[in-house]
Amino acid sequence: MSRKNIRLKEKVERLVILDKTGKANEALDPKLDDELSLYLYKLMVQSRVLDERMINLQRTGKMGTYAPCRGQEATACGATPAMDKDDWIAPAYREVGSFIHRGWPMESLIFFWGGYEEGCVPAKGSNHLPFAVPIATQCLHAMGISWGMKVKGESDAVLCYIGDGGTSEGDFHEALNFAGVYKLPLVMFVVNNHWAISIPREMQTASPTIAQKAVAYGFDGIQVDGNDILGCYAAVNEAANKARSGGGPTLIEAVTYRMMFHTTADDPKKYRSEDEVKKWEKLDPITRYEKYLTTRGTLSRNVQEDVKAEAVKLVAEAVERYELHREVDPVECFDFTYEEMPPELAEQREDFIRVLDEAGVKRGPRGHYLLP
């Protein structure tokens, strides 16, 4: 057999409901009611306003680092609302809209990126894991949860987010392999934003698409336009229904773009062209959806302004709560590693307090030391 013949040329379907101009494919439009349609829009706007504010917080020294989601809002804001309340969500670290939808207070996300453990406490009853920065680890957590559901005979499903770079990790493949063999109710949602820090998608895999990897694991894979919120919603809705009715897993590759730096510690000008970014700017998921909603008569200029104003207010209130909480006692760094503090650590703790007192470090209202 010649080399040419054995090359895999598997084609996968790409779902697009809203075209670049915001025009819907009539036959595919899920025709969501006005309330849900407008809600998805609000979610994207809130995600963007919070994203912008997080960058400002980092730039003004109030946050350690931040990984923005600008341009990718349609993925999280389309996919998570397509799942039922009892389904579980396992995010990576750019799914801001997913957390908001599942009732995590906005300040939890600010706490997370500010380095506070409160940012990892799930909202009560939200069935939504915290951010997972160790790449692809959430894939096995998600697979494990879906396995548990199957063992218990529950008819719920799990949605797992993972980046294009994450698909090079063993955890991703182990999760898919296991899910395929045991026909688990898992929706693996790959957010292909074309970059993994400075590594382009082409260097991640020689496969023409990421979606086609599903074939090797024995289930369906589909691509969706990741800047089309209706496409993301419909693809996940169908995959989740299939999973809940015993049809097994689905791999969805949402094709989108990381508009900003990888994190606030990165400078993308060093490895990608401005032209590429400009091209994707024109495909903005919020603008596209605004056009669709306006055409269908669901969105007016007034409503648009109200949605923005509400988002700005919610984010400002969350930042205020974060600011109030920001002061932590540096002495606490000794307190939570061991159940019983070893004597040498207790000694270091006492030394530290002595040094703080000798340096005249002031104490706050809770008696905690205030670092200058």
Chain positions contacting ligand TPP, by CB under 6 A: 94, 133-135, 163-166, 193, 195-197, 258, 262
Residue number, nearest CB to Mg ion = 163
Residue among 196 and 254 whose Cβ is closer to ligand TPP: 196
Residue in 1, 2, 69 with CA at minimum distance from that of residue 258: 69
Choose the contact partner of 146 out of ligand TPP, Mg ion, none; CB within 5 to 8 A by kind. Answer: none
Residues in the chain: 372
Using CA atoms, how far apart are residues 219 and 217, in angstroms rounded to an integer?
6
Residue in 68, 5, 18, 323 with CA at minimum distance from that of residue 195: 68
C-alpha torsion sign, points 148, 150, 155, 161:
positive
Cβ partners under 8 Å of residue 141, min gap 6: 90, 129, 132
Q: How many CB atoms lie within 10 A of CB 146?
A: 32
**Catalytic residue check, 271:** yes
**Catalytic residue check, 258:** yes
Residue among 164 and 220 whose Cβ is closer to Mg ion: 164
Residue among 41 and 99 whose Cβ is closer to ligand TPP: 99
Q: How far is the CB of 204 from Mg ion (least distance, A)?
A: 8
Q: How far is the CB of 287 from ligand TPP (least distance, A)?
A: 22
334, two tokens:
């000794």
* 276-284: long-range contacts, CB 8 A cutoff, minimum separation 24: 280/71, 282/20, 283/20, 283/227, 283/257, 284/71, 284/227
Choose the contact partner of 134 out of ligand TPP, Mg ion, none; CB within 5 to 8 A by kind. Answer: ligand TPP
Cβ partners under 8 Å of residue 322, min gap 6: 57, 107, 110, 111, 114
User: Of 262, 288, 322, 369, which one is the catalytic site residue?
Assistant: 262
Q: How far is the CB of 202 from ligand TPP (least distance, A)?
A: 13
Residue among 99 and 195 whose Cβ is closer to ligand TPP: 195
Residues found near Mg ion in the complex (CB under 5 A): 163-165, 193, 196
Distances (CA, A) of 48 to 20, 45, 76, 361: 20, 5, 12, 39
User: Of 258, 288, 292, 369, which one is the catalytic site residue?
Assistant: 258
Choose the contact partner of 83 out of ligand TPP, Mg ion, none; CB within 5 to 8 A by kind. Answer: none
Residue number, nearest CB to ligand TPP = 163
Residue among 141 and 201 whose Cβ is closer to Mg ion: 201
Choose the contact partner of 106 out of ligand TPP, Mg ion, none; CB within 5 to 8 A by kind. Answer: none
Choose the contact partner of 133 out of ligand TPP, Mg ion, none; CB within 5 to 8 A by kind. Answer: ligand TPP
C-alpha torsion sign, points 238, 234, 166, 54:
negative
Residue positions annotated with a catalytic role? 258, 262, 271
